[in-house]
């Protein structure tokens, strides 16, 4: 019989693209952390590759927060949208 741990029930992680001073980023980060989602954070002002990725999925703009969840990019999503994607 296998045992289920709290860790195995935790939501999967996401790649979280952000920039300093972004209130939308702060709000989304808090919502995802509260839900127990692990974040692989990428500051687009310090990481040119991260900024290029965001531009590639946000019509050429550096719109943050942008997250990648289960292989799909979401531009400026709510925590509920990210959690729904993780539940798919």
pLDDT (average), residues 5-23: 75
pLDDT at 3: 36
Domain around 39? 10-87
Q: Are 82 and 15 in contact (CB under 8 A)?
A: no
Residues 6 or more apart whose Cβ sits within 8 Å of residue 4: none
pLDDT at 1: 37
Question: Among 70, 82, 87, 72, which residue's Cα sits nearest to residue 29?
Answer: 82
The pTM (predicted TM-score) of the whole model is 0.85
pLDDT digits (tens, 9 = 90+) for 36-56: 999 999 999 999 999 999 999
Domain presence at residue 4: no
Domain presence at residue 3: no
Domain presence at residue 41: yes
What CATH number is attached to the domain comprising 15? Answer: 3.40.30.10
Domain presence at residue 29: yes
Domain presence at residue 1: no
Domain presence at residue 61: yes
> Count of domains in the chain?
1
């Amino acid at each position: 019989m296998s045992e289920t741990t709290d860790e195995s029930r935790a939501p999967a992680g996401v790649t979280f693209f952000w920039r300093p001073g972004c209130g939308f980023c702060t709000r989304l980060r808090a919502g995802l952390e509260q839900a127990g989602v692990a974040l692989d954070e990428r500051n687009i002002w310090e990481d040119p590759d991260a900024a290029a990725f965001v531009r590639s999925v946000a019509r050429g703009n550096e719109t943050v927060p942008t997250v990648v969840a289960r292989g799909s990019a979401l531009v400026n999503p709510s925590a509920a949208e990210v959690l729904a994607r993780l539940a798919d």
